Structure formats: C-alpha cells, structure tokens
Structure 1
Amino acid sequence: MNILLKSATIVDSSNSDYHLKKLDIHIQDGIIKDIAPNIDVSDNVQVIEDHNLHVSIGWFDSGVSFGEPGYEERETIANGLYTAARSGFTDIVLNPNTNPVPDSSSDIIFFKNAARSNAVNIHPLGALTIKSEGESLAELYDMKSAGAVGFYDYKRPISNPNLMKVALQYAHNFNGLVISFPMDKQITGKGIVNEGEVSTKLGLKGIPHMAEELNLARDLFILEYTGGKLHVPTISTAKSVKLIAEAKKKGLDVSCSVAIHNLCFTDETLLGFDSRFKLMPPLRTNKDSKALLKGLKDGVIDFVTTDHRPMDIELKRVEFDNAANGTIGLESAFGILNSLLGLENTIALLTKGRERYGLSNPSLKIGEKAVLTLFNPDIKYTFTEEDILSSSKNSAFLDSKMKGRAIGIIGNNQLIH
C-alpha cells in the first residue's frame, strides 16, 4: 500500500495540531509516513482526493450481529465485514448469536481466523453460559485466552441471580467483562412493544419499563457486592439512565450503551404496524428518547451501538406479532448520528469504546499504524434500499433523511473505498 489522502480534513479532538485542519496524509505499508499541508509524492502513489474528504481514526461498534455460522442466509462474515468497512467501521464487537452459539475457545478462534486477512477487525464475544441457556457458565477463561473480549448471552437475560453473582466473581479473577441484557422475562411475559398508550391503541401486549429497570437494579446490586466489570447493552428507559448514573457515583465498574434507533424513534412509530420497527428492547416513549440522548451527552451512557441485526425477509414480512426483532444499522449509523448530534460529537462517539473491551485505541500520528475512516459529513440524502449493503434488508431507517456518508476505511494495510 502506498496512498496519499489529499486535502483531507482531520477530525481528531485529541490532537490540537491536526483537529479540523485540511492536510495531506501519506500512508505506506500500512504506516502513516507523513502529515503535512502539501506532500509531494512519486508517480506510484495512489492519490485519494474525494470531494469534501474528511478522516478520523477508525470507527468502532460494540454490538454487531452477522449470521454465519448457522444463519448464512441472513449474513455471511465476508459480506458483513465488507458492509462494516463501507460503513466506516474498522473494528466491530461480534455478538454471540450464531448456530452453534460460541461458548468455547475453538469457536472464538474460528471468528478470529475468519477476519485474519480483512481490513476490519472482529472482536468476538463468547456466550456467558453454555449454549446461552442460562444454566451453567461457559468456558470463560479459555475463551478470553483465545481472544474473546467479553461474555454475553445475546438478548437473553440471566434469570438466576446467583449465576450472575458467580459470573462476576469468576470473571473478576482475569479482568473479564460480563455483559448482561436488562430484561426480566417474567415481567415481560409475551409482551412485544412498549407498554403504554400506543400498545393499548394497537392492541399489542406491552413490555413495561420496569421489566428492564428491575433486572438492571438487581445486576447493579450484585455488582456492588461482587466487584468486577459489568456492561449493560442497549438500555432504553429514562429510569435506566438514572440507575446507571447512581451506580457510577458509587464507583461501580459499570458501562452501558444505547442503540441508535432508540435515540431517534419512539413507540409512536409503531402506529403503522411496520415490523421493521419491532425491536428488542422495544422503542419507548419520547420522554425516554430525550433522557437517553441527554445521558449520552452527559457521559452517563458510555457509547452508542448500531445493534446491527440482519434478519431475512421471511422473518420480517409477517404479522407484527410473529415478526422477528431487529434492524440492520451499520450503513445508516453515521448519517443518522451526524444529523442528530453534529460532526464532532458523532466522531467522538463512533471512535469511543475500545478501552472497555481491553482494546488499544488507534492514533492518527506519524509513525503509527493507519486505522482510519474516510467520510463526507455534509452530503444530504434519503436512505433507500440502494444504500443497503447487507444481505438482509430489514432497516428501520429506510426513507430517513441523512446527513453525511462514509466513504471507506484504511486498516490492516488495506484500503476499502
């Protein structure tokens, strides 16, 4: 690789020498060789000079699902990684919701090997319990040694509080990250949407706020007793933000994320019975969305995730009650966040979160490995199916107005552009 990024506006608030300045960046053999206002290079250099080219360190997503192995019709690893790259992501945390569920070191090694020659890095999660059945702990230490960055029964709450206690105590011995989906299954029952005025209008069974909040309060209470590291993915209520804030004030080692769709959609979106908006956790009220956004700006919520979850058409184009949960979100992430939060806040969020998973942050400096995202923050467009690169097309963001588009990435001595 021998590339010159020409007249690229650098967005990197951690580096005042470069931040929001238009500079040339020379990359050779995957290393940043020079950053200057005008770099003269030889004829054998590939020059990237896109209109309104911007660059930041590579984007990170803490919650991505594919399908392979087991559900290749939803998404393969190869196409999923290509989608991530074209969407601007150089690093993804891969959810353990394949078939079989990755609950051993050999499963983790499979995912690491699958992305070994790719521009995008996969950081796999292992299941917290065997087969994610919530009965017995999986091989946590062995999976950590093989490269797992955390342990999670994807979208399945741990009903047994003693199992959660033992998991936190055991993982604490090797600095393992326990991830717990906040949902009390007994209170949720057969609910499929947020319980409230909209669910009553639609005649759909509701999931009350306390189904999330009770489980979260329980886990935080256990964490205070055991110590260790806990991550709570995709919180969705105002009370959950408050509970996390209180736990952090106590000094508990807890982090949380919010899905992008819970920031910009509410349960009123469901009035059209469109199964693209059937999600877990469900879309909540306008009050909740505002509280989530405030929690994100205040730093109570640590980072955003696309919660990218491909589902093939047969699982979505059915009656709302029977439709599968989930939306894809990689392709639309930047355009939505940039419209909602502005450029600098968006880049800060999209480059945040690696440390929580024990990963090092890339650096946009001379002599460092080039782990970069290329994008145009000003282009305005309507998101359509033509913008979807995923094998599955179940996007809640279709027909949404976007501002900004990812152009590609540079990672592992490769350019995807």
Structure 2
Amino acid sequence: MTTLLKSATIIDASSPHHQQTKDILIVNGKIAKIANSIKPESNYKVIQLDNLHVSCGWFDTSVSLGEPGYEERETIAHGITVAAKSGFTTIAVNPNTNPVIDSKSDVEFLINKAANSATKLVPIGALTKGCEGNELAEMYDMQQSGAVAFGDYNKSISNDNLLKIALLYAQNFDGLVLSFPKNKAITGEGIVNEGINSTRLGLKGAPALAEEIQVARDLFLLEYTGGRLHIPTISSAKSVQLIKEAKKKGLQVTCSVTAHHLLLTDEELEGFDSNVKVTPPLRTKKDTRALIKGVKDGIIDVITSDHNPIDIENKKLEFSLAKNGTIGMESLFGAVNSQLDIETTIKALTVNPRKIFNQKNSFIAKDQEANLTLFNPEIIYTFSEKDILSSSKNSAFNGKELKGKAYGIYANKKLVLN
C-alpha cells in the first residue's frame, strides 16, 4: 500500500524536518519521500486532515487489558484497536489478568494474540509469582519470550529483601524492575488522598507519605544493589524531589506519571464519582504543579494513561466499594497537551519510554520505517462518552475540557484512523 500524508506538520526533534509542514509518502511501510508537495498518483491512498500533525508513534507504558480472565472489561483484539485509534503504536500491557502473566507461556500468549496488529503489544511480566509478593517469578524466561519489564501492577513489594534480590538478579540480563510505590501499612484502609477533602467528605484517607516512604526505600535499595528501577505512576511532590536527588547521584532510576494526575486533583471527589477512584489516589494542586514541573524538568521521564478498564458491575457502586481505575488511552493526549508544550509531551510519549523499555527508537526521515502517530494538537472539546472507544466506560475525564486529539496511526504497514 502506498500512503500519502498531505500537509503534515512534523514534530520530531531528531528529524531534519522538525516543525516543518511537509507531504510524506509511505511505500510498503517505509518513508519513501518527504517534500513540500508530492503529487498523488492513482494508486495512492491520500490522507488529508485538518491541522494534521505527525510524530513518531506514541508508547503507553501502562495498559491493562482484561484478557485472559476478564474479557468483559476488554479483550486484547479490541484493546489493541482502541490503542491504535488513540494514537499508540506500542503499548506495554500489565500482568493483572487471570491467570497472572508470570511465566514464559503467558507472555507468549499475549504476544501471539496481538501478532500482526498495527499497534505492537509488549508484555510486562509479573515480578512475583501470582503477583502475591512472596517469590520471584520466572523473570529471565519471560524476558527471553518477549517481556520488557517486571512488576506487580498496583501492588507494592513489602518484602525489602525480595526487591533487593530482584534488582540484583535482573542485572544478569539487563532486566527492568518496576516497583509500585505504596506502603500498605501506612495506607491501611485509605481509599483517597488524606487531607482536607477526605476529612470533609468522610472518606478514609491514604497519605502521600505512604508513597514517599516506599520511594525512599526503593531508592536506598537501588543505591545498594545497582540495576535498573522504574517507579510507575508517582503522584506526590515529595516523590518528585526524592527521584530528582537519586538521579543526581547517578542511580539508574526512571519514573512515570499518569495523565489524570497531571490534570485532576482530590477536589474531584466532591461528587463521589467512582470514576475518579484511582490508584494512587488523586492528590492536591500542590502535587499536580510539582508533577507538571517534574515532567518539564526531565525528572519524570514518561507520561502514561494507566488505562484500566473496569466493568460497570464493579465500578458503578457506592464509592467505597467500587474498584479503582480509569480508562485513559482515548483522553491521554488531550489531557496532557492542555498542560504541557507539544515537544515536552511528545518526548514523554516517544523517545523516553522506548529508551527505558529497550524498544527501537525511530525518527521521521527518508528511508526510515514509518512508525507514526497522526494528531491535531489544537482542537478543543469536552470529553464525553461518545469519545470513549473502550468496552468499559470508566473514564475520570468525562465532562472535562481537553485540547488535542489523535487521528490514528501508521505502523507495521497498516493505517488505522479514528
């Protein structure tokens, strides 16, 4: 297939065409020509969209899909399509399925189910067997089968020695260890951020301290062991500061933040909407400002949707009983683009995650493989259920004004448009 992208503004700092508006000709999955104007021929598929912008394909580093075990929430086939239409050419899929992804065969199942899709699926294997925090899973075997990292999704490793051993062992094969930052003893039964709003609304609070003390512990262990540590979805100002200090020491630590933690605060709890019940909980404006600054300063490496579909039976309940989690692939770009400049946003969605998760980087130039996201960064709209592509509808962004929307992707010789 020959595809011609007309009048596309290129956003790619490593490309010679950065911030230039060009026509891009793609032949058999490769960029054949980039020029001011390319005349279409009869066999070309011509793509001409309002205010079309193109970047290297976006990579979402934390996506939960229901399959296997929770197909009513989301299947792999449908989730991959949602990712493509939301602008993602690669997604890292969490192991929180049933059974948990904790073996070589489980990893291969995920990869095979998504084979030949436009969006590439890369599995995150469980760090411990069954994600139970007791015994290390088969990390090396899983990596050999295609796992890109190891972590127990939204579950912290309370056993200090187990995390120490994981960091030491993973160095033998350059494995990436994920450690979710939550001290369970301090969190207790808390379900929202501990503060003025939790007290006023009568909801059990979980202090930011529970995250920060775990981040501090993990960084002490990393300093002792060496290795590579990724701390997913931090949410507090103090966590940013701790990671900044660790990076200054030269530790190989990276971290991510979710789009909803950049835009939303615990003031959203006012309506007791279970769609804003997430892990970690939404924090304060002070934390949000620190997280945004952390991304701008390069302390926070990656922005993720932390896409977590939850079926209506488990979400549309009394707030204290509802499961935590929000979908987010469809809304990620519009949320983040409303808070950050376009170059910072694109770097946190492309270059940084690929470097951390050992994925091949790409750039927009002649003879390069076409791995592209198509989007409009200027469109302003109110996000609603009609914008949701996922099988589950649990979005924290319902009713929120967003800026920017993905048109789709061109990747793996396939064009997928929203």
SS of residue matched to 1:279: coil
Distance 1:298 1:346 in 2: 12
Read off the aligned partner of 1:220 and give its amino acid letter.
Answer: L
Q: Which residue of 2 aligns with 1:108?
A: 107
Q: CA deviation at 1:346?
A: 2.0
Q: Which residue of 2 aligns with 1:206?
A: 205
Q: Which residue of 2 aligns with 1:408?
A: 408
State whether residues 378 and 403 of structure 2, in contact with CA within 8 Å, keep that contact through their aligned partners in structure 1.
Answer: yes
Q: CA deviation at 1:376?
A: 1.3
Distance 1:202 1:274 in 2: 12
SS of residue matched to 1:341: coil
CA RMSD, aligned part only? 0.9
Number of positions where the alignment pairs a residue of Structure 1 with one of Structure 2: 416
Identical positions, percent: 59
CA displacement, residues 84-118 of structure 1 (integer Å, 9 cap, x when unaligned): 10010001111111110010011111111111110
Distance 1:130 1:110 in 2: 17
Q: Which residue of 2 aligns with 1:358?
A: 358
Q: CA deviation at 1:41?
A: 3.8
Q: Which residue of 1 aligns with 2:60?
A: 61
- Does residue 255 in structure 1 map to residue 250 in structure 2? no
CA displacement, residues 356-414 of structure 1 (integer Å, 9 cap, x when unaligned): 01111122111111000111111121111000000000000011112111111000000
Q: Which residue of 2 aligns with 1:389?
A: 389
Q: What are the equivalent positions in structure 2 for 1:171-182 lying under 5 Å apart? A: 171-182=170-181
Distance 2:164 2:349 in 1: 32
SS of residue matched to 1:340: coil
Distance 2:338 2:404 in 1: 8
CA displacement, residues 294-344 of structure 1 (integer Å, 9 cap, x when unaligned): 111111111111010000111111111001100001001111111111323
Q: What are the equivalent positions in structure 2 for 1:14-163 lying under 5 Å apart? A: 14-15=14-15, 17-163=16-162
Distance 2:331 2:195 in 1: 29
In the superposition, the TM-score normalised over structure 2's length comes to 0.98
SS of residue matched to 1:72: coil
Q: Which residue of 2 aligns with 1:372?
A: 372
Q: What are the equivalent positions in structure 2 for 1:268-283 lying under 5 Å apart? A: 268-283=267-282
Distance 1:339 1:293 in 2: 11
Read off the aligned partner of 1:11 and give its amino acid letter.
Answer: I
Q: Which residue of 1 aligns with 2:5?
A: 5
Distance 2:343 2:231 in 1: 25
State whether residues 226 and 252 of structure 2, in contact with CA within 8 Å, keep that contact through their aligned partners in structure 1.
Answer: yes
Distance 1:344 1:130 in 2: 39
Read off the aligned partner of 1:415 and give its amino acid letter.
Answer: L
Q: CA deviation at 1:20?
A: 1.6
SS of residue matched to 1:80: helix
Distance 1:385 1:187 in 2: 36
CA displacement, residues 43-64 of structure 1 (integer Å, 9 cap, x when unaligned): 1111111121111110111111
Q: CA deviation at 1:349?
A: 2.0
CA displacement, residues 228-283 of structure 1 (integer Å, 9 cap, x when unaligned): 11000001111111110111111111000011111111111101111111011001
SS of residue matched to 2:84: helix
SS of residue matched to 2:32: strand
Q: Which residue of 2 aligns with 1:242?
A: 241
Q: Which residue of 1 aligns with 2:266?
A: 267
Read off the aligned partner of 2:178 and give its amino acid letter.
Answer: I
Q: CA deviation at 1:42?
A: 2.3
Read off the aligned partner of 1:42 and give its amino acid letter.
Answer: E
Read off the aligned partner of 2:372 and give its amino acid letter.
Answer: L
In the superposition, the TM-score normalised over structure 1's length comes to 0.98
State whether residues 107 and 145 of structure 2, in contact with CA within 8 Å, keep that contact through their aligned partners in structure 1.
Answer: yes
Q: Which deviates more, 345-354 or 313-322?
A: 345-354
Distance 2:301 2:348 in 1: 9
Distance 2:253 2:347 in 1: 20
Q: Which residue of 2 aligns with 1:290?
A: 289
Read off the aligned partner of 2:336 and give its amino acid letter.
Answer: L
Distance 1:23 1:158 in 2: 49
Q: CA deviation at 1:40?
A: 2.6
Distance 2:49 2:293 in 1: 35
State whether residues 292 and 339 of structure 2, in contact with CA within 8 Å, keep that contact through their aligned partners in structure 1.
Answer: no
- Does residue 398 in structure 1 map to residue 398 in structure 2? yes
Q: Which residue of 1 aligns with 2:196?
A: 197
State whether residues 292 and 340 of structure 2, in contact with CA within 8 Å, keep that contact through their aligned partners in structure 1.
Answer: no
Distance 1:122 1:68 in 2: 13
Q: What are the equivalent positions in structure 2 for 1:313-352 lying under 5 Å apart? A: 313-351=312-350, 352=352
Name structure 1 gaps, 5 residues minimum.
Answer: none
State whether residues 257 and 303 of structure 2, in contact with CA within 8 Å, keep that contact through their aligned partners in structure 1.
Answer: yes
SS of residue matched to 1:330: coil
Distance 1:35 1:77 in 2: 34
Distance 1:260 1:157 in 2: 21
SS of residue matched to 2:323: coil
Distance 2:249 2:405 in 1: 40
Read off the aligned partner of 2:381 and give its amino acid letter.
Answer: Y
Distance 2:218 2:49 in 1: 48
Distance 1:251 1:26 in 2: 42
- Does residue 227 in structure 1 map to residue 226 in structure 2? yes
Distance 1:344 1:299 in 2: 12
CA displacement, residues 103-135 of structure 1 (integer Å, 9 cap, x when unaligned): 001111111111111000011000000001111
Q: Which residue of 2 aligns with 1:170?
A: 169
State whether residues 301 and 353 of structure 2, in contact with CA within 8 Å, keep that contact through their aligned partners in structure 1.
Answer: yes
